[in-house]
């Protein structure tokens, strides 16, 4: 049997990796506690950008009353995702608000005030086998399903069957390798059957030959629960326990461990016939398709300096501070980390809303994670290279990033860096390596964008000059014809092209003179308006521009087309 | 401060350097046993010079002094240089060599992490070129000397250059085994006959082979502690042994056997402590193998055909220059890329 | 020896022909560095003319404020000449902005349309115009011709979309002890 084959087959491994202290026990003692909305004044903030891709298209207005699960903003095109109301209530505002983003910058968000009734919008299950796959995908698009492992990539895009790249292997990521985070662990323990239902839908949509769930060996209960649930499924699902090593939960790393294959750099894993989803995503797919419930809540691990660390099933949009207060943690005079200690970031405020990407909140950052000692120079010990799961040379990349040598950084495959933090974790000199890579990456992306914009501008400018030149010639042509016609010697034109050319030249000159004359007239008409209020400075500017344009040979056409 | 990862787990630079110093202790102990306590004076002298010059240079360069003095890298340079010098080197030789290593080879290039050359080897090479006579004159091991010097006599000799009454310099010094072998081969003697001389031990130089053995012990500790990677010493020793083996098999009368080369001169010190300097060495695994093997081959060639009895310092410095090139051409395959 | 010389000469000659570099002409390479704002602050009617002038040695490399310091450095590197700070006479670098037309004031005179070097302004005679923000290079050439001063330059605001990670603060502080 295939499942047995997997158990017996040897697992592959990736380069490096680290073994940070787990800190998972604290938050796995209690079962998931589901938060229900009883308070009528409860406010929810729903950013319109909770996913990779375009900002969702707003469908509601301020003052609208909406029901729980109602579509508030739809996906804008394919690379986008929908946003729904986590409870029934009234839209009180649509404006920029602080969101959980490392930039600390505000972004557009809907604010919803609950009415306390928590009344569902009409929703229904879908028999996904009896409708077309397109319909199922459309439901996923409208249901706001995105990757819940943290990348928040719209799932309907990944579940589309593509003839060019058929997917043979469906991988479910239950590795959860980051310290502190246990939301997937608890989800697998408690809702294994529902995850399997979701996997069945994914398997059906992609028509894959095999399904593998990868779980780190520090989660034996979750693995057992998944095994039990998988054995009851009609499709073949293999549960594979992988060794605990950070970052085995990186999609590409997990693919390598489970299949021995590597997803090609800069491309999708579907190029090698593999698609990878987080187990929590499978769960939301099941809830949406089999129950009609869009993504309006997620499981968040709340841990660190809190009285009741654990996992909470939280409606999206709830302020993080309120969630932490429920778990018995401080809201003021402390800082929270969103995500784990290896890849997470410090929240810009403790009142930002819970979003789809939020898998974990670690309370008490300053107390738990003291500032590292000052950085020393790199001693080229190459511990970072030994730890890098993508076999980069972090010490070289650091050097290039630090000196703004971006081309070199790109040559040394900066963009294959997954920012997992292993290099910084093992650095004896305490150099914030990942920070340098993030800096270099965003600079390079900005430079590339500027370059693209410059290329477009150059093209448009050249096109414009070309157009002006063409129009000039066309006018010259017209004048030449008129001139030739007046002389009634059109035959001569054909017989003596050289002569015609000089004629054309003359005609062109005449046209130019005429154009300039007209321009002057027009200028004169407009000039008074222009000079009435402008300062001498602007006048000087106008003169300068005119001079430049004259130099470029543009002046004569200036007002020509105005009434054409 | 908004940056991840928030956790780290790594030995500090200081810890790494202190472990290197710790690993040198067995070698130093053997050294004292074989050649007397004079080396302790040399070590102290070099350490003080290194720390003082490092502190002054850091101050001049407006750098924080404490973290860089505490990192221990200056001490490592000082100790390696001191151990490479002849045991009874005059005090000024130690001071000049150390100053050169710290001031020119390290601080003027930018201090810790920025020196392209191994500072200890720069110091050594400068001394070897400037004072070849002193640098090649080694005291005979205590058990071979006609009149073994006591510690106070050694101290006196180091600082005043004077020997106790009635003792001639030649009575306490001799050529090193490598030097002796080379000279005698030049006089058309056979290796077997030459190695009958009292300065030769079972495998290497008499006494010296114990010191080398103790370095090996310290080196293995460093590998076990993951301070150095196995690539460098293995490739270096293998290349040296291979070269020596091939030449020995071709003509045993004129070439010493591999064991002699492995246990003579600065071989083990070089294998585990000198070429393993991360700052002036390559970083890729393949690069480390190439670098170390290259030094091994070059060391052998200089020993056999070069003008100096031991070629470690020059080999290391030559390959230091090649490090950026080696690194550039030995980049490992990155995940998701074809080779 | 002569034979060797001839042989090597032939090898070199062959190599020169075989590996001839069909590199970009200098003007195109200079033009590739310039930011293509087409603003004319350099004193030339566009980026290409300025590039041509630099290539012919008629203009200095420090006359392009939108290219900024980085641009001057890049030009200096390309041409193998010494870097020099931007010439203040040509203006100072400003944050990247886009033109925005106040559509209530616009009288639809089309003067700005004619001034725009990249055709980034849409509109017809006697109808109000609007700027295609993504195509606007921020050259400011449309400001002066506007008879009613209805065009403003708005700096592009930082958002989570275009936000960049900052250079890490270097922890080792210089201590004056």
Contacts of A335 in chain B (CB under 8 A): none
Q: In the prediction, which pLDDT does C102 show?
A: 87
Residue B94 reports pLDDT greater than 90: yes
Task: For residue B335, list chain A residues with Cβ-Cβ distance below 8 A.
Answer: 14-15, 252, 256, 262, 265, 389-391, 416
| pLDDT grade for B1, boundaries at 50, 70 and 90 | very low
Q: What is the pLDDT at residue B37?
A: 82
**For residue A98, what are the β-bridge partners?**
A106
When pLDDT is averaged across residues A206-222 and rounded to a whole number, the result is 94
Using a pLDDT cut of 90, give the percent of chain B over it: 54
Does the structure show a pLDDT above 90 at A8?
no
- Whether C163 is covered by a domain: the verdict is no
Q: Tell me what pLDDT residue B199 has.
A: 66
Give yes or no: residues C51 and C78 share one domain. Answer: yes
Q: Is the pLDDT of residue A366 over 90?
A: no
pLDDT of residue B196: 67
pLDDT band at A553 (very low <50, low <70, confident <90, very high): very low
Q: A482 in helix, strand or coil?
A: helix
Q: What is the DSSP letter of A31?
A: P
Nearest by Cα to B142 from B30, B309, B268? B30
Mean pLDDT of the B17-22 span: 95
DSSP letter string, B52-91: HHHHHHHHHTT--HHHHHHT-HHHHHHHHHHHHS-TT--H
Cβ of B64 and C173 within 8 Å?
Answer: yes
Residue finishing a domain among C90, C123, C140? C90
Please determine, for residue A60, whether its predicted confidence score (pLDDT) is greater than 80: yes
List the one residue out of A28, A2, A107, A44 whose CA is nearest residue A323. A44
For a pLDDT cut of 70, what percent of chain B falls above it? 86
Per the structure, how many domains does chain C have? 2
Which pLDDT score is estimated for B330? 94
From A101, A439, A464, residue closest to C118, measured CB to CB: A464
CA–CA dist B217, B219 (Å, integer): 5
Q: Which residue of B has its CA nearest to C167?
A: B3
Regarding predicted confidence, which is higher, A443 or A560? A443
Search chain C and give the residue with CA nearest B67.
Answer: C172
**Residue C84 located in a structural domain:** yes
Strands A210-216 and A237-242: what pairing?
parallel
Are B8 and A385 an interchain contact pair (Cβ–Cβ within 8 Å)?
Answer: no
Chain A neighbors (3+ CB pairs < 8 Å): B, C
Q: Which residues of B touch A264 (CB under 8 A)?
A: 336-337
Task: Mark whether C77 and C104 lie in a shared domain.
Answer: no
Tokens of B197: 């001389």
Mean pLDDT of chain B: 86
What confidence score (pLDDT) does residue A4 get? 46
- From the list C168, C169, C172, the residue facing B64 with the nearest CB is C172
C114 and C86 in one domain?
Answer: no
Decide which of A224 and A36 is more confident. Answer: A224
Contact call for residues B326 and B281 (beta carbons, < 8 A): no
pLDDT tier at A41 (50, 70, 90 boundaries)? confident
Domains detected in chain A: 1-30+125-293 (3.40.50.11540), 384-520 (no CATH)
Task: Tell me A10's DSSP state.
Answer: P
Which pLDDT tens digit goes with each residue over B55-78? 999 999 888 888 888 899 999 999
pLDDT at A508 over 70: no
Contacts of B331 by beta carbon, 8 Å cutoff, 6+ apart: A393, A412, B284
Q: Using CA of residue B72, residue B74, residue B78, residue B80, what is the dihedral sign?
A: positive
Cα C149 from Cα A530, distance rounded (Å): 9
In a domain, residue C19? The reply is: no
C98 with C146, same domain? yes
Give the model's pLDDT for residue A537: 56
The structure tokens listed for B273 are 């402590």
Report C:16-45 residues touching A (Cβ under 8 A): 31, 34-38, 40, 43-45
Percent residues over pLDDT 70 in chain A: 85
The predicted structure's pLDDT at residue A559 = 40
What does chain B come to in residues? Answer: 339
Annotated domain spans of chain B: 10-174, 198-329
A16 touches chain B (CB under 8 A): no
Residue pair A351/A98 in contact by the 8 Å Cβ criterion:
yes
Among C24, C130, C116, smallest CA distance to A457 is for C116
Residues B316-338, mean pLDDT to the nearest whole number:
94
Which chain B residue has the Cα nearest residue C175? B64
Do C68 and C107 share a domain, yes or no? no
**CA angle A179–A183–A189, rounded 5-degree value:** 115
- Taking the C-alpha atoms of residue A557 and residue A471, their distance in angstroms, rounded to an integer, is 8
Nearest CA in chain B to A367: B6
CB-based contact A284:A356 (threshold 8 Å): no
Which of A266, A343, A385 minimises the CB distance to B283?
Answer: A385
Identify the domain containing residue C110 by its residue range. Answer: 94-158
pLDDT digits (tens, 9 = 90+) for B168-179: 566 556 667 777
What residue spans of B166-284 are helical by DSSP H? 169-172, 177-186, 191-194, 208-224, 231-250, 258-262, 267-269
Judged by CB atoms closer than 8 Å, whether chains meet at C172 and A441 is answered as: no
Same-domain status, C82 and C102: no
A53 CB neighbour count, 10 Å cutoff = 18
d(CA A146, CA A140): 9
| Sheet containing A169-174, strands listed edge to edge, beginning at the edge strand earlier in sequence | A237-242, A210-216, A169-174, A274-278
- Per-residue confidence of chain C (177 residues) as pLDDT tens digits? 788 888 888 888 887 777 666 555 788 888 888 889 888 888 888 888 899 888 888 888 889 998 888 889 888 988 888 888 888 888 888 888 888 888 888 888 888 888 888 888 888 877 778 888 888 888 888 888 888 888 989 888 888 888 888 888 754 444 443
Query: What was the pLDDT predicted at A5?
Result: 47
Using the Cα atoms of residue B302, residue B308, residue B313 and residue B314 in order, give the sign of their dihedral.
negative
Write the ipTM: 0.88
Q: Which of B269, B253, B279 is nearest to B310 (CA)?
A: B269
What are the residues whose beta carbons fall under 8 Å from the beta carbon of B314, sequence distance 6 or more?
B125, B298, B302, B306, B308
pLDDT band at A184 (very low <50, low <70, confident <90, very high): very high
Whole-angstrom distance, CA of residue C42 vs CA of residue B80: 60
> pLDDT at position B145, please?
59
Between A522 and A122, whose confidence is greater? A122
Burial, C89: exposed, middle or buried (Cβ in 10 Å; 0-12, 13-18, 19+)?
exposed
- Residues C136 and C98 placed together within one structural domain of the fold: yes
C109 CA to chain A: closest CA distance, Å? 9
Per-residue pLDDT band at B202 (split at 50, 70, 90): low
CB-based contact A107:A96 (threshold 8 Å): yes
- A89-98 and A33-34 strand pairing: unpaired
Interface test with C, best of B62, B112, B114 (most C CBs within 10 A): B62
CA nearest to C173 within chain B: B64
Q: Does A337 touch chain B (CB under 8 A)?
A: yes
DSSP type of residue A416: G
Q: Please say whether the beta carbons of B299 and B309 come within 8 A.
A: no
Same domain, C31 and C78: yes
Average pLDDT over chain A, rounded to an integer: 86
Check whether residue C31 and residue C84 sit in a common domain: yes
Cβ–Cβ under 8 Å, residues B63 and B15 = no
Q: Picking from A140-154, A497-511, B268-282, C41-55, which range would have the lowest pLDDT averaged per residue? A: A497-511
Vertex B316 angle, CA B310 and B318, to 5°: 110
Which residue, chain included where needed, has tokens 């080379």?
Answer: B182
What per-residue confidence (pLDDT) applies to B206? Answer: 64
pLDDT of residue A280: 96
Answer whether A528 touches B (CB < 8 Å): no
Answer whether residue C149 is part of any domain: yes
Helix (H) or strand (E) holding B21: helix B13-35
Tens of pLDDT, residue by residue over A266-278, are 899 999 999 999 9
Q: Check CB contact of C89 with chain A, cutoff 8 Å.
A: no
Name residues 174-213 of chain A within 8 A of B (Cβ): 179
Q: Cα(first)–Cα(last) distance of chain B, in Å?
A: 39
pLDDT of residue A373: 86
As a whole number of angstroms, the distance between CA A356 and CA A354 comes to: 7
Q: pLDDT tens across A510-538, in order?
A: 665 665 555 455 444 444 444 444 455 55
Per DSSP, what are the bridge partners of residue A65? Answer: A90
Q: Does position A172 have pLDDT exceeding 70, yes or no?
A: yes
Q: Which residues on adjacent β-strands are paired with residue A89?
A: A66, A114
Please report whether residue C153 resides in a domain.
yes
Q: Given this model, what pLDDT does residue C126 score?
A: 77
Residue A36 clears pLDDT 90, i.e. is over it:
no
Q: With 0-12 CB in 10 A as exposed, 13-18 as middle and 19+ as buried, what is B61?
A: middle
pLDDT at B148: 65
Q: Are the C-beta atoms of residues A292 and A123 closer than 8 Å to each other? A: yes
* pLDDT (average), residues A301-325: 95
Reported as type and span, the H/E element at residue B151 is helix B151-160
The pLDDT value recorded for residue C21 is: 60
DSSP A44-105: EEEES--SSSBPPEE---TT-EE-BT-EEEE--SSSB--EE-SSSEEEEEEEEEE-S-TT--
Q: Indicate the residue among C37, C71, C90 that finishes a domain.
A: C90
Low-confidence winner among A77-81, A255-259, A477-481, B260-264 (lowest mean pLDDT): B260-264
**Which of chain C's residues have a Cβ under 8 Å away from the Cβ of A376?**
172
pLDDT number for residue A134: 93
% of chain A residues with pLDDT over 90 = 69
Q: At what angle do helices C26-33 and C47-55 cross, to 10 degrees?
A: 130
**What tokens appear for A77 in the block?**
């095109």
């Amino acid at each position: 049997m295939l499942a047995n084959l997997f158990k017996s087959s040897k697992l592959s491994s990736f380069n490096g990796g680290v073994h940070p202290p787990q800190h998972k026990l604290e938050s796995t003692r209690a079962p998931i506690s589901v938060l229900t909305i009883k308070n009528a004044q409860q406010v929810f903030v729903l950013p319109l950008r909770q996913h990779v891709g375009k900002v969702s298209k707003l469908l509601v207005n301020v003052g609208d009353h909406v029901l729980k699960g109602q579509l508030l903003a739809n996906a804008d095109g394919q690379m986008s995702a929908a946003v729904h109301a986590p409870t029934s209530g009234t839209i009180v505002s649509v404006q920029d608000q602080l969101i959980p983003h490392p930039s600390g910058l505000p972004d557009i968000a809907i604010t919803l005030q609950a009415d306390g009734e928590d009344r569902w919008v009409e929703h229904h299950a879908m028999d996904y086998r009896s409708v077309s796959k397109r319909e199922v995908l459309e439901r996923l698009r409208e249901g706001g399903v995105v990757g819940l492992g943290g990348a928040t990539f719209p799932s309907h895009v990944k579940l589309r069957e593509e003839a060019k790249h058929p997917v043979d292997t469906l991988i479910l990521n239950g590795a959860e390798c980051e310290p502190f985070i246990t939301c997937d662990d608890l989800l697998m323990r408690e809702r294994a059957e529902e995850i399997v239902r979701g996997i069945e839908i994914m398997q059906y949509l992609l028509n894959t030959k095999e399904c593998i769930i990868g779980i780190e060996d520090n989660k034996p209960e979750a693995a057992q629960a998944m095994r039990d649930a998988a054995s009851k499924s009609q499709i073949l699902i293999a549960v594979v326990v992988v060794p605990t090593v950070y970052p085995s939960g990186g999609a590409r790393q997990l693919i390598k461990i489970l299949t021995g294959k590597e997803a090609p750099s800069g491309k999708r894993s579907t190029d090698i016939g593999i698609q990878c989803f987080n187990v929590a995503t499978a769960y939301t797919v099941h809830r949406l398709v089999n129950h009609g419930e869009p993504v309006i809540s997620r499981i968040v691990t709340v841990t660190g300096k809190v009285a009741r660390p654990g996992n909470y099933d939280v409606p999206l949009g709830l302020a993080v501070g309120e969630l932490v207060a429920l778990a018995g943690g401080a809201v003021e005079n402390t800082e929270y980390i969103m995500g784990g200690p290896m890849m997470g970031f410090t929240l810009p405020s403790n009142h930002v809303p819970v979003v789809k990407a939020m898998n974990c909140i670690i309370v008490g950052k300053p107390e738990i994670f003291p500032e590292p000692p000052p950085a020393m120079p790199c001693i080229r010990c190459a511990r970072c290279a030994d730890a890098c799961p993508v076999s980069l040379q972090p010490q070289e990349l650091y050097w290039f990033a630090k000196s703004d040598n971006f081309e070199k950084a790109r040559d040394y495959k900066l963009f294959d860096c997954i920012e997992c933090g292993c290099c910084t974790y093992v650095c004896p000199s305490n150099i914030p390596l990942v920070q340098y890579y993030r800096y270099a990456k965003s600079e390079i992306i900005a430079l590339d964008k500027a370059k693209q914009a410059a290329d477009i501008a150059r093209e448009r400018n050249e096109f414009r000059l070309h157009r002006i030149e063409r129009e000039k010639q066309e006018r010259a042509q017209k004048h030449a014809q008129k001139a030739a016609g007046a002389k009634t010697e059109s035959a001569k034109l054909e017989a003596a092209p050289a002569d015609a050319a000089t004629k054309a030249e003359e005609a062109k000159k005449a046209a130019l003179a005429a154009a300039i004359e007209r321009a002057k007239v027009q200028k004169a008409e407009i000039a008074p308006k222009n000079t009435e209020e402008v300062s001498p400075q602007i006048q000087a500017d106008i003169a300068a521009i005119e001079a430049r344009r004259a130099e470029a040979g543009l002046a004569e056409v200036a007002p020509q087309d105005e009434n054409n | 401060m908004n940056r991840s990862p928030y956790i780290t787990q790594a030995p500090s630079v200081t810890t790494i350097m202190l472990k290197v110093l710790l690993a040198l202790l067995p070698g130093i102990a053997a050294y004292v046993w074989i050649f007397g306590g004079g080396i302790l004076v040399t070590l102290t002298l070099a350490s003080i010079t290194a720390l003082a010059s490092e502190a002054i240079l850091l101050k001049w360069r407006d750098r924080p002094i404490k973290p860089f003095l505490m990192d221990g890298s200056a001490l490592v340079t000082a100790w390696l240089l001191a151990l490479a010098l002849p045991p009874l080197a005059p005090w000024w030789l130690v001071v000049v060599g150390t100053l050169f290593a710290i001031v020119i080879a390290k601080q003027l290039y930018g201090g810790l992490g920025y020196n392209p050359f191994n500072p200890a080897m720069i110091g050594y090479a400068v001394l070897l070129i400037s004072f070849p006579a002193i640098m090649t004159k080694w005291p005979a091991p205590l058990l071979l000397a006609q009149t073994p010097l006591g510690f106070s006599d050694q101290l006196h000799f180091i600082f005043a250059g004077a020997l106790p009454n009635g003792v001639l310099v030649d009575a306490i010094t001799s050529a090193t085994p490598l030097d002796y072998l080379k000279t005698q081969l030049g006089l058309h003697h056979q290796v077997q006959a030459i190695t009958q001389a009292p300065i030769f031990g079972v495998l290497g130089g008499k006494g010296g082979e114990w010191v080398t053995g103790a370095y090996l012990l310290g080196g293995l500790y460093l590998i076990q502690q993951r301070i150095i990677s196995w690539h460098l010493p293995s490739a270096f020793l293998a290349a040296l042994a291979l070269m020596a083996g091939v030449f020995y098999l071709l003509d045993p009368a004129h070439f010493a056997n591999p064991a002699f080369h492995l246990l003579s001169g600065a071989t083990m010190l070089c294998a585990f402590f000198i070429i393993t300097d991360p700052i002036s060495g390559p970083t890729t695994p393949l690069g480390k193998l190439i670098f170390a093997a290259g030094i091994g081959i070059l060391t052998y060639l200089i020993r056999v055909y070069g003008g100096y009895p031991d070629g470690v310092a020059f080999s290391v410095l030559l390959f230091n220059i090649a490090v950026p090139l080696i690194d550039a051409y030995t980049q490992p395959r990155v995940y998701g890329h074809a080779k | 020896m002569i034979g060797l010389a001839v042989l090597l000469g032939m090898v070199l000659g062959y190599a020169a022909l075989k590996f001839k570099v069909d590199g970009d002409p200098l003007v195109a390479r200079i033009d590739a560095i310039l930011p293509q704002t087409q603003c004319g602050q350099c004193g030339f009617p566009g980026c290409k003319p300025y590039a041509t002038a630099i290539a012919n040695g008629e203009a200095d490399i420090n006359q392009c404020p939108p290219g900024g310091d980085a641009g001057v450095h890049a030009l200096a590197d390309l041409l193998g000449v010494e870097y020099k700070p931007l010439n203040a006479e040509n203006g100072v670098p400003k944050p990247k902005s886009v033109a925005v037309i106040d559509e209530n004031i616009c009288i639809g005179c089309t003067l700005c349309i004619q001034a725009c070097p990249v055709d980034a302004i849409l509109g017809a005679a006697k109808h109000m115009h609007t700027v295609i923000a993504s195509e606007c290079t921020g050259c400011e050439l449309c400001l002066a011709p506007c008879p009613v001063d209805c065009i403003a330059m708005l700096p592009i605001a930082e958002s989570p979309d275009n936000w960049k990670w900052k250079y890490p603060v270097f922890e080792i502080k210089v201590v004056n002890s």
